[in-house]
Amino acid sequence: MTRQNGSTGRDGARPQRSEATGATAGDAAGGGPPNTPEPLRSTPGFLVRRLYQAHAAAWLRHVDTALTGPQFAVMTAVQAYPRVDQGSLATCVALDRSTMADVCRRLEDRALIQRDTAPADGRRKLLSLTAQGESVLADVTRRVSRLNLRLMDGDEDTDGFAELLLALDQLSERWEQVADEDAV
Protein backbone atom coordinates (compact mmCIF):
# COMPACT_ATOMS: atom_id res chain seq x y z
CA MET A 1 0.00 0.00 0.00
CA THR A 2 1.42 3.37 -1.00
CA ARG A 3 0.96 6.26 1.38
CA GLN A 4 0.56 9.31 -0.85
CA ASN A 5 -1.88 12.19 -0.67
CA GLY A 6 -5.24 10.89 -1.90
CA SER A 7 -4.50 7.20 -1.21
CA THR A 8 -6.98 4.83 0.36
CA GLY A 9 -6.56 3.02 3.65
CA ARG A 10 -6.48 -0.74 4.29
CA ASP A 11 -10.27 -0.98 4.16
CA GLY A 12 -10.44 0.88 0.84
CA ALA A 13 -11.97 3.98 2.39
CA ARG A 14 -10.30 7.32 1.82
CA PRO A 15 -8.69 8.50 5.10
CA GLN A 16 -9.99 11.72 6.57
CA ARG A 17 -7.48 14.57 6.12
CA SER A 18 -6.80 17.43 8.45
CA GLU A 19 -7.94 20.67 6.82
CA ALA A 20 -5.02 22.53 8.42
CA THR A 21 -2.18 20.21 7.38
CA GLY A 22 -3.51 17.79 4.77
CA ALA A 23 -2.23 14.89 6.92
CA THR A 24 -4.20 11.81 7.88
CA ALA A 25 -4.05 9.93 11.15
CA GLY A 26 -2.70 6.92 9.25
CA ASP A 27 0.19 8.97 7.91
CA ALA A 28 1.84 8.84 11.31
CA ALA A 29 0.39 5.56 12.57
CA GLY A 30 2.27 2.63 11.13
CA GLY A 31 1.70 3.18 7.42
CA GLY A 32 5.21 4.45 6.85
CA PRO A 33 6.47 7.95 7.40
CA PRO A 34 3.83 10.65 7.15
CA ASN A 35 3.85 13.18 4.34
CA THR A 36 5.37 16.55 5.19
CA PRO A 37 2.50 18.83 6.21
CA GLU A 38 1.76 21.70 3.81
CA PRO A 39 2.68 24.47 6.28
CA LEU A 40 6.23 23.06 6.36
CA ARG A 41 6.45 22.52 2.60
CA SER A 42 5.74 26.22 2.13
CA THR A 43 8.24 27.40 4.78
CA PRO A 44 11.57 28.43 3.20
CA GLY A 45 13.60 27.76 6.34
CA PHE A 46 12.31 24.19 6.57
CA LEU A 47 13.11 23.53 2.91
CA VAL A 48 16.58 25.03 3.28
CA ARG A 49 17.20 22.77 6.30
CA ARG A 50 16.10 19.74 4.26
CA LEU A 51 18.46 20.75 1.46
CA TYR A 52 21.29 21.24 3.94
CA GLN A 53 20.69 17.83 5.55
CA ALA A 54 20.62 16.12 2.16
CA HIS A 55 23.77 17.97 1.08
CA ALA A 56 25.60 17.07 4.30
CA ALA A 57 24.72 13.38 3.83
CA ALA A 58 25.77 13.49 0.16
CA TRP A 59 29.02 15.25 1.16
CA LEU A 60 29.90 12.46 3.57
CA ARG A 61 29.11 9.77 1.03
CA HIS A 62 30.62 11.31 -2.12
CA VAL A 63 33.27 13.82 -1.06
CA ASP A 64 34.67 11.70 1.73
CA THR A 65 35.68 12.85 5.15
CA ALA A 66 38.98 14.45 4.05
CA LEU A 67 37.50 17.89 4.75
CA THR A 68 34.27 19.10 6.25
CA GLY A 69 32.21 21.66 4.35
CA PRO A 70 33.47 24.55 6.51
CA GLN A 71 37.08 23.34 6.18
CA PHE A 72 36.67 23.18 2.40
CA ALA A 73 35.23 26.70 2.39
CA VAL A 74 38.11 28.07 4.47
CA MET A 75 40.76 26.37 2.36
CA THR A 76 39.13 27.50 -0.89
CA ALA A 77 39.03 31.09 0.38
CA VAL A 78 42.65 30.90 1.61
CA GLN A 79 43.67 29.72 -1.85
CA ALA A 80 41.79 32.64 -3.43
CA TYR A 81 43.18 35.18 -0.91
CA PRO A 82 46.60 34.00 0.28
CA ARG A 83 47.96 35.72 3.40
CA VAL A 84 44.55 37.16 4.26
CA ASP A 85 43.85 37.57 7.94
CA GLN A 86 41.73 34.97 9.68
CA GLY A 87 39.14 37.46 10.99
CA SER A 88 38.42 38.96 7.57
CA LEU A 89 38.15 35.55 5.99
CA ALA A 90 35.56 34.43 8.56
CA THR A 91 33.01 36.83 7.11
CA CYS A 92 33.86 35.71 3.57
CA VAL A 93 33.05 32.05 4.37
CA ALA A 94 30.04 32.80 6.61
CA LEU A 95 31.61 31.58 9.87
CA ASP A 96 31.63 33.36 13.19
CA ARG A 97 35.07 34.21 14.56
CA SER A 98 35.02 31.45 17.18
CA THR A 99 34.14 28.74 14.65
CA MET A 100 36.68 30.16 12.22
CA ALA A 101 39.43 29.96 14.86
CA ASP A 102 38.50 26.33 15.60
CA VAL A 103 38.42 25.35 11.91
CA CYS A 104 41.80 27.03 11.31
CA ARG A 105 43.34 25.37 14.36
CA ARG A 106 42.21 21.96 13.11
CA LEU A 107 43.52 22.64 9.60
CA GLU A 108 46.83 23.84 11.05
CA ASP A 109 47.07 20.72 13.27
CA ARG A 110 46.73 18.62 10.09
CA ALA A 111 49.41 20.73 8.35
CA LEU A 112 46.94 21.87 5.68
CA ILE A 113 47.24 25.59 6.39
CA GLN A 114 49.87 27.77 7.98
CA ARG A 115 48.97 30.60 10.36
CA ASP A 116 51.53 33.37 10.78
CA THR A 117 51.32 36.35 13.08
CA ALA A 118 50.96 39.61 11.14
CA PRO A 119 54.09 41.74 11.55
CA ALA A 120 52.13 44.96 12.07
CA ASP A 121 49.55 43.50 14.47
CA GLY A 122 50.39 40.51 16.65
CA ARG A 123 46.69 39.74 17.18
CA ARG A 124 46.04 39.03 13.50
CA LYS A 125 46.76 35.62 11.97
CA LEU A 126 47.64 35.47 8.27
CA LEU A 127 46.61 32.28 6.50
CA SER A 128 48.22 30.35 3.66
CA LEU A 129 47.91 26.82 2.31
CA THR A 130 50.74 24.37 2.78
CA ALA A 131 51.87 22.11 -0.08
CA GLN A 132 49.90 19.29 1.52
CA GLY A 133 46.91 21.62 1.82
CA GLU A 134 47.11 22.47 -1.89
CA SER A 135 47.12 18.75 -2.74
CA VAL A 136 44.20 17.88 -0.45
CA LEU A 137 42.21 20.88 -1.68
CA ALA A 138 42.76 19.92 -5.34
CA ASP A 139 41.50 16.38 -4.66
CA VAL A 140 38.49 17.53 -2.65
CA THR A 141 37.64 20.21 -5.23
CA ARG A 142 37.40 17.49 -7.91
CA ARG A 143 35.11 15.46 -5.67
CA VAL A 144 32.96 18.51 -4.89
CA SER A 145 32.62 19.24 -8.62
CA ARG A 146 31.44 15.67 -9.23
CA LEU A 147 28.98 15.95 -6.33
CA ASN A 148 27.62 19.25 -7.65
CA LEU A 149 27.09 17.63 -11.04
CA ARG A 150 25.19 14.74 -9.43
CA LEU A 151 23.10 17.07 -7.28
CA MET A 152 22.09 19.08 -10.33
CA ASP A 153 21.33 15.99 -12.47
CA GLY A 154 24.24 16.73 -14.76
CA ASP A 155 23.12 20.30 -15.47
CA GLU A 156 25.98 22.12 -13.73
CA ASP A 157 27.02 23.96 -16.90
CA THR A 158 23.57 25.20 -17.87
CA ASP A 159 22.14 28.68 -17.49
CA GLY A 160 19.58 27.25 -15.08
CA PHE A 161 22.31 26.15 -12.68
CA ALA A 162 23.96 29.58 -12.80
CA GLU A 163 20.59 31.25 -12.22
CA LEU A 164 19.88 28.97 -9.27
CA LEU A 165 23.25 29.79 -7.69
CA LEU A 166 22.66 33.51 -8.20
CA ALA A 167 19.19 33.27 -6.67
CA LEU A 168 20.53 31.32 -3.67
CA ASP A 169 23.32 33.88 -3.19
CA GLN A 170 20.84 36.76 -3.30
CA LEU A 171 18.52 34.93 -0.92
CA SER A 172 21.42 34.33 1.48
CA GLU A 173 22.27 38.03 1.46
CA ARG A 174 18.64 38.98 2.11
CA TRP A 175 18.28 36.51 4.96
CA GLU A 176 21.54 37.75 6.51
CA GLN A 177 20.12 41.29 6.40
CA VAL A 178 16.94 40.12 8.12
CA ALA A 179 19.02 38.32 10.76
CA ASP A 180 20.85 41.58 11.51
CA GLU A 181 17.66 43.66 11.77
CA ASP A 182 15.98 44.43 15.06
CA ALA A 183 12.85 42.41 15.72
CA VAL A 184 9.58 44.16 14.95
Summarised one tens digit per residue, pLDDT across range 166-184 is 998 999 999 989 988 887 7
Contact 78, 127 (CB under 8 A): yes
Domain end call among 53, 73, 101:
53
Same domain, residue pair 78 and 45 = no
How many C-beta atoms surround the C-beta of residue 72 within 10 A?
Answer: 20
| CA atoms within 13 A of residue 150's CA, in its CB half-sphere | 13
Question: Percent helix, strand, coil in the chain (nearest 5)?
Answer: 55, 10, 35
17 has pLDDT over 70:
no
Residue range 108-116: mean pLDDT, rounded: 97
Same domain, residue pair 117 and 147 = yes
Domain end call among 35, 53, 71:
53
Q: Say what percent of the chain tops pLDDT 90.
A: 46
pLDDT of residue 57: 92
Same domain, residue pair 34 and 107 = no
pLDDT of residue 105: 97
CA angle 86, 73, 54 (to 5 degrees): 145
Same domain, residue pair 72 and 155 = yes
Residues whose CB falls within 8 Å of the CB of residue 59, separated by 6 or more in sequence, listed in order: 69, 147
pLDDT of residue 182: 82
140 has pLDDT over 90:
yes
120: containing domain: 54-180
Residue range 16-21: mean pLDDT, rounded: 55
In this predicted model, which residue has the larger pLDDT, 154 or 37?
37
21 has pLDDT over 60:
no
Distance of alpha carbon 46 from its chain centroid, rounded? 13
CATH number of the domain where residue 173 is located: 1.10.10.10
Same domain, residue pair 26 and 64 = no
- Whether 75 is in a domain gets the answer yes
84 DSSP β-pair partners: 127
Question: Confidence class of residue 12 from pLDDT cuts 50, 70 and 90?
Answer: very low
Same domain, residue pair 48 and 70 = no
Number of structural domains (the chain) is 2
Which pTM was predicted? 0.73
In whole angstroms, what is the distance from residue 163 CA to residue 158 CA?
9
Question: Confidence class of residue 10 from pLDDT cuts 50, 70 and 90?
Answer: very low
Same domain, residue pair 33 and 114 = no
Residue range 145-159: mean pLDDT, rounded: 78
Residue range 148-161: mean pLDDT, rounded: 76
Same domain, residue pair 37 and 24 = yes
Same domain, residue pair 72 and 130 = yes
- Whether 3 is in a domain gets the answer no
- Whether 160 is in a domain gets the answer yes
Same domain, residue pair 76 and 110 = yes
Same domain, residue pair 67 and 145 = yes
- Whether 10 is in a domain gets the answer no
In whole angstroms, what is the distance from residue 178 CA to residue 184 CA?
11
Same domain, residue pair 40 and 71 = no
Residue range 76-97: mean pLDDT, rounded: 94
pLDDT of residue 118: 87
